Amino acid sequence: MSPLAKLFEAALFAATRPLTLEELATLDPEVGEAETRAALAELREAWGEGSEDHGVELVDIAGGWQFLTRREYAEPIERAQFALRPRHLSPAALETLAIIAYRQPVGRLEVDEIRGVDSQAVLDRLVERGLIEIISRGEGLGRPLLYGTTPQFLEILGLKGLDQLPRLDELSVALRPPAPAQPE
Amino acid sequence: MSASPSPLLPTPTHPVLPEQGGFVVELEQFSGPLDLLLHLIREDELDITDLPIAQIADQFLAVISDLGLNQAADYLEMAARLLRIKAQLLLPRRLGDDEWEDPRSELVRRLLEYQQIRELVDWLQRAATRRSEQLARGYTPPAPELPPAPLEIELNDLLAAAERVIALIPEPMLHRVVPRPLDVEGATARIQALLAAREEFGWSDLVGARPSVAEVLSAFISLLELAKRGVLRLAQPDPFAPMVIRRESAREAV
């Protein structure tokens, strides 16, 4: 393996979150983009998903790269209590995440309206967990806070990007164009 | 579209309606009134786009009727909405009225929208579960919640603990005497001493250059009281000018 690939390998091993190609490139200011890509390709060759040689694999996730244990080992590792799987999200949290993922940037009122319940507490918890963040303020009364998803949201779902979410017209519920708000 | 039962929701395993009485617990598995409504619609295999509002409203009300008001605001709002739609449907309308808009359409739109969200929730759930089969480095698990330790205690320890708790209970407070920093009597004595010596004196003669709030209040109350009794006369030559206290000689003479 090339020295650059080994440097990347070390950084990816040390990091606790996915590192993007741009972040890896900052490790050595001397190298250009082509070398960076070549080094990453080397690593993927050695550690890529589906390579049978190792217990961990290099996974393309949340716009970056991260070493994760292979699926078949989660259970024994957990049984031995060397690590724990993350907590499951509540249905309320997932509903709120789904709405934000598809409508971002979106304010609390719209989330409340779609869910039919007050969502402030759920929003606060999701911000606390780093799964959503305030990305801007809306026009209109009180300039409401608008929320969007974070890379960590993609990370806990194992997604490369938001475009991996299902398209709405693929769902079994027919996609209906959002009707104009009707007077109450 | 049909409203055939779909595997969208972690559908409650117990039917909700027949179990009157246990609804507070039952309701916790619904994330809101729309969720409950969707459940009822699926349960009865109703057509979501042609909702029998009267039937669904009655069922909805039956389910939430046992709830405490404070936790059911969102459900009550939905109940009110259902009843209004029910009433609107009862209003007569002219035949061939093109302007007529189905009062259910807004609710149906929201239900379909919500149903779509529930389907996305299932998708996200599956993605999260699949992701959790792979462990990342540096994951520090949240401290597991420990079950409370089984209670093992000697009788003497229990009695000692009870005594400690009882000792902490304060004696009932029936009356509290608040010390009063005001010294009206002292101020009155000072004023009378000053009046005995002089016909007239100023405010600062009475309270000094830097009086405390209590001193000012005491002196002022005392002055007002003495003025009322006719012992002295208060005057202020100009706005914001220092007050002048003068002996009321006429009355004093009496």
Predicted ipTM of the assembly: 0.84
Q: Is B173 a residue whose pLDDT tops 80?
A: no
Distances (CA, A) of B49 to A178, B34, B45, B52, B84: 16, 15, 12, 9, 18
Q: Which two tokens stand for residue B5?
A: 């039962």
- Identify which of B32, B120, B132 has the shortest CB distance to residue A85: B132
Q: Are B85 and B107 in contact (CB under 8 A)?
A: yes
> B86 to chain A, minimum CA–CA distance in Å?
15
Per-residue pLDDT, A154: 94
Q: pLDDT digit string (tens) for A157-174?
A: 999 999 999 887 776 654
Per-residue pLDDT, B202: 87
How large is the average pLDDT for residues B5-16?
A: 44
Q: Are B182 and B224 in contact (CB under 8 A)?
A: no
- Identify which of A74, A87, A117 has the shortest CB distance to residue B32: A117
Per-residue pLDDT, B215: 85
The pTM (predicted TM-score) of the whole model is 0.61
Domain boundaries, chain A: 3-79, 91-170
Q: Are B219 and B207 in contact (CB under 8 A)?
A: yes
Residues from chain A that touch B121, judged by Cβ atoms under 8 A, are 91, 94-95, 98
SS3 for A145? strand
The per-residue pLDDT of chain A, averaged, comes to 87
- A97 to chain B, any CB pair closer than 8 A? The answer is yes
Q: pLDDT digit string (tens) for B42-66?
A: 888 888 888 888 888 888 888 877 6
> B151 to chain A, minimum CA–CA distance in Å?
27
- A159 to chain B, any CB pair closer than 8 A? The answer is yes
* Top-confidence residue, B18 or B161: B161
CB atoms within 10 A of CB B109: 14
* Top-confidence residue, B68 or B153: B153
* Top-confidence residue, A26 or B170: A26
Note the Cα B52 to chain centre separation in Å: 38
Is CATH 1.10.10.580 what the domain over B184-253 is classified as, yes or no? Answer: yes
- A114 to chain B, any CB pair closer than 8 A? The answer is yes
Q: Which two tokens stand for residue A178?
A: 């959002």
Residues from chain B that touch A158, judged by Cβ atoms under 8 A, are 127-128, 130-131, 134
- Identify which of B32, B127, B142 has the shortest CB distance to residue A116: B32
How big is chain A by its Cα radius of gyration, in Å? 20
CB atoms within 10 A of CB B113: 18
What percent of chain B clears pLDDT 90, i.e. is strictly above it? Answer: 4
Q: Which two tokens stand for residue A61?
A: 């996730």
- A67 to chain B, any CB pair closer than 8 A? The answer is yes
CA closest to B103 among chain A residues: A184
Task: Fold for A3-79, please state it.
Answer: Arc Repressor Mutant, subunit A (1.10.10)
Is CATH 3.50.50.60 what the domain over A91-170 is classified as, yes or no? Answer: no
The H-assigned helical ranges of chain B are: 23-27, 33-43, 53-64, 73-90, 105-131, 155-168, 184-197, 203-207, 213-229, 249-253
Q: Where in chain B is the domain with CATH 1.10.10.580?
A: 184-253
Q: Which two tokens stand for residue B112?
A: 């379909």
Q: Which two tokens stand for residue A10?
A: 């070390």
CA closest to A68 among chain B residues: B136
Q: pLDDT digit string (tens) for B98-121?
A: 667 788 888 888 898 899 999 999
| CA atoms of B149 and B144, how far apart (whole Å) | 14
Q: Does residue A166 have a cis bond before it (omega within 30 degrees)? A: no
